[in-house]
Amino acid sequence: MSVPYWRARDRYYRILGNKCEQCSQEYFPPAAICKKCGSTKFVDCEMPKTGTLVSYTQQKESIHGFEDQEPMVFGLLRLDNGVRIIAQLVEVPYDSLKEGMKLKAVFRRVRVDGESGQIFYGYKFGASRESKS
């Protein structure tokens, strides 16, 4: 069992970034120095689980360890707090993706470790209920 994974597990089930204590700017991944005010004081801050699709692409070449998930689709999203994040997109057919559509974070199997059989989970983005109508 991978100890660092279990120690960091909390960060995989939530999208955990941080927030500048001085100016409240939010970051994901967590920042060490605030780009806005230069402060180095931060508190953990969970990112919203919904966002808007800014751009997306389909990966057709093999990524080692992810052959069973091909073709993979990745999107750049603007979360509801304005933070930009790149994530794998699932559940929405590639042809149905549209820039500006609302997506929400879903927690899915990311990969299985070949040697230990350990399953790793993490966030991906899928269809938001409001966009299904």
Which residues partner with 107 through β-bridges? 123
| Least Cβ distance, residue 25 to Zn ion (angstroms) | 5
Q: Which is nearer to Zn ion, 25 or 128 (CB)?
A: 25
Q: Using CB under 5 A, list all residues that contact Zn ion.
A: 20, 22-23, 25, 34, 36-37, 39
**For the residues of 34-98, what is the DSSP string, one character each?**
-TTT----EEEEEPPSEEEEEEEEEE-S--TT-GGGPSEEEEEEEETTS-EEEEEE-SS-GGG--
Q: Which is nearer to Zn ion, 37 or 119 (CB)?
A: 37
Q: Which is nearer to Zn ion, 79 or 105 (CB)?
A: 79
11 SS3 class: helix
| Least Cβ distance, residue 105 to Zn ion (angstroms) | 25
CA distance linking residue 86 with residue 95, whole number of Å: 19
Q: Which is nearer to Zn ion, 39 or 69 (CB)?
A: 39
| Least Cβ distance, residue 47 to Zn ion (angstroms) | 17
Ramachandran angles phi, psi of 66, nearest 5°: -125, 20
| Least Cβ distance, residue 84 to Zn ion (angstroms) | 17
